[in-house]
Amino acid sequence: MQTTIELKVKDSFIEDIRRGLPLINKDAIINEQALKEEGSIIDLVDSRRGFLARGYYGRQNKGIGWVLTNKQEAIDFSFFQQKILKAINKRKGFYQNEETTAFRLFNGEGDGIGGLTIDYFDRYYLINWYSDGIYSFKEQVIQVLDNLGDYKAIYEKKRFDTKGKYMEDDDFVKGERGEFPVIVKENGMRYAVYLNDGAMVGIFLDQRDVRKAIRDKYAKGKHVLNTFSYTGAFSIAAALGGADKTTSVDLAKRSKAKTIEQFSVNGLDFEQHDIRVMDVFDYFQYAKRHQLKFDMVVLDPPSFARSKKRTFSTAKDYPKLLMDTIEITAKNGIIVASTNNASFGMKKFKGFVEKAFKQMKTGYKIVEEYHLPADFQVNRQFPQGNYLKVLFIQVK
Ligand code: SAH
């Protein structure tokens, strides 16, 4: 039996909970010290012990747990089953689409269970557990997926500090061990995916719509610079869209082989493209020295990065990043500015764009903007969950 702990909500936070805020914030709770074991069921109550909502205890940097329901229902196998089946039902279109075989099947609080995501990669499931608390429901979640039948294997990533508690250091959970890479399709493009090789699997599914836009509407005949390129997913989209050439820049050594692989699985000749293992900020200097101008530049940095020479934070340094980019983008060229930093919204992001272009005394026009794609369901009461912001900016 799971223990249930009553947590008293401060008066000033009761309205948030009633409205359906899914995150349990430490600041909202009077008796946080009552929490002992992660995975315990939490009943949020008001000062007269009136029931408000039920959730679980799981520490993430965001909060101390997630609300699961506003009813006094059991958090058991059938609870998880009902949530996951509902999520699958919403993604029927993806299951039927033969051109796209990788998508997010369950998106945390957007699908009713914060701290848990499940991605689908051509009959493989990848579960991300974001706290020890949600991990304690592993058996139920696995059982739901297993009951669906017709899958190859379930893999998992523990995205929390396991403090040495879980010894196995293998992401395989159940089914038949995969042979990687698995080649998934996305709008007809191919991507090599590894589910057993660290936190990042080779492709970020949330950029699907952006990759499609680049391929279908922007790339033809262009020289495209892809910065923070990782496995080069945007370069592949551009090349398939008829780009003259792509240049991919990432400082991780393995990015080069990974990018070559992505070109190759798409039948593209990687030798016609430039793949550089290099710090993006050094590359900017190099490009300026050689007076290079690109027709299109993709900027998709991590929210925070630390290299030997510098630290970078999108919340602070994005304007500077844009200024460097503006200098090497041709007139009428396109800058694809992206960030997944949840700590600021689109308005602030557009402010960064305004600031950078003003400093550079350059005109611009935002021609398109993107947020998370449809499979990354967002909880309306939790806008921070809608973290992705992408702007297509034309340089004037
Ligand atoms: N845009 C990629 C995802 C980027 S992930 C995509 O769509 O798939 C972030 C990448 O930034 C990582 O591969 C990391 O190695 C790289 N990175 C971080 N700091 C960097 C720097 N200063 N210069 C170049 N690459 C950097």
Cis? peptide before 373, omega within 30° of 0? no
168 and 243 housed in the same domain: no
63 and 84 housed in the same domain: no
Q: Edge-to-edge strand order for the sheet containing 124-129? A: 102-107, 116-121, 124-129, 153-158, 172-175
For 36-51, b/e burial (b = at least 16 CB within 10 A) is eebbbbbbbbbeeeee
Answer yes or no: is 195 within a domain: no
307 and 373 housed in the same domain: yes
Ligand 1 centroid to Cα of residue 134, in Å, is 29
- What CATH number is associated with residue 181? 3.30.750.80
48 and 142 housed in the same domain: no
Answer yes or no: is 191 within a domain: no
Task: Count Cβ atoms below 10 Å from residue 198 Cβ, excluding itself.
Answer: 11
pLDDT at 347: 98
Extract the tokens encoding 9.
């909500």
Give how far Cα 243 sits from Cα of 280, 284, 370, Å. 21, 21, 21
Find how far residue 92's CA is from the centre of its chain.
21
- What CATH number is associated with residue 42? 2.30.130.10
Ligand 1 centroid to Cα of residue 122, in Å, is 25
Answer yes or no: is 333 within a domain: yes
The atom of ligand 1 lying closest to the CA of 310 is 22
Residue-number span of the structural domain to which 15 is assigned: 4-69
Answer yes or no: is 199 within a domain: no
pLDDT at 169: 67
What distance in Å separates the CA atoms of residue 328 and residue 293, rounded to the nearest whole number?
5
3-state helix, strand, coil split of the chain in percent (to 5) is 35, 30, 40
pLDDT at 168: 67
377 and 322 housed in the same domain: yes
Q: Whose CA is nearest to atom 15 of ligand 1?
A: 252
Ligand 1 centroid to Cα of residue 228, in Å, is 3
Answer yes or no: is 222 within a domain: yes
Number of domains forming the structure of the chain:
3
**Whether the CB of 207 sits within 6 Å of ligand 1:** yes
Task: Count Cβ atoms below 10 Å from residue 257 Cβ, excluding itself.
Answer: 11
Closest C-alpha among 8, 15, 60, 56 to residue 36: 56
Q: Cβ distance 116 to 129 under 8 Å?
A: yes
156 and 209 housed in the same domain: no
Global pTM reads 0.97
149 and 238 housed in the same domain: no
229 and 173 housed in the same domain: no
Answer yes or no: is 50 within a domain: yes
**Whether the CB of 233 sits within 6 Å of ligand 1:** yes
The pLDDT profile of the chain, 396 residues, written as one tens digit per residue, is 578 999 999 999 999 999 999 999 999 999 999 999 999 999 999 999 999 999 999 999 889 999 999 999 999 999 999 999 999 999 999 999 999 999 999 999 999 999 999 999 999 999 999 999 999 999 999 999 999 999 999 999 999 988 878 766 689 999 999 999 999 999 999 999 999 999 999 999 999 999 999 999 999 999 999 999 999 999 999 999 999 999 999 999 999 999 999 999 999 999 999 999 999 999 999 999 999 999 999 999 999 988 778 899 999 999 999 999 999 999 999 999 999 999 999 999 999 999 999 999 999 999 999 999 999 999 999 999 999 999 999 999
Task: Count Cβ atoms below 10 Å from residue 73 Cβ, excluding itself.
Answer: 12
Q: Tell me whether strands 223-227 and 245-250 are parallel, antiparallel or unpaired.
A: parallel
- What CATH number is associated with residue 362? 3.40.50.150
Last residue of a domain, one of 39, 69, 99: 69
**Whether the CB of 131 sits within 6 Å of ligand 1:** no
Answer yes or no: is 196 within a domain: no
277 and 379 housed in the same domain: yes
229 and 323 housed in the same domain: yes
**Whether the CB of 250 sits within 6 Å of ligand 1:** yes
For 348-362, b/e burial (b = at least 16 CB within 10 A) is ebbebbeebbeebee
Helices (H), the chain: 11-19, 77-90, 92-96, 132-135, 138-148, 208-213, 233-240, 254-265, 280-289, 314-327, 346-359
The residue count of the chain comes to 396
Ligand 1 centroid to Cα of residue 280, in Å, is 9
Answer yes or no: is 197 within a domain: no
pLDDT at 318: 98
222 and 370 housed in the same domain: yes
Extract the tokens encoding 51.
């029931």
pLDDT at 116: 98
Beta bridge partners of 296: 224, 334
Q: Cβ distance 191 to 236 under 8 Å?
A: yes
Ligand 1 centroid to Cα of residue 20, in Å, is 35
Look-up of token digits 């900016």 = 393
366 and 386 housed in the same domain: yes
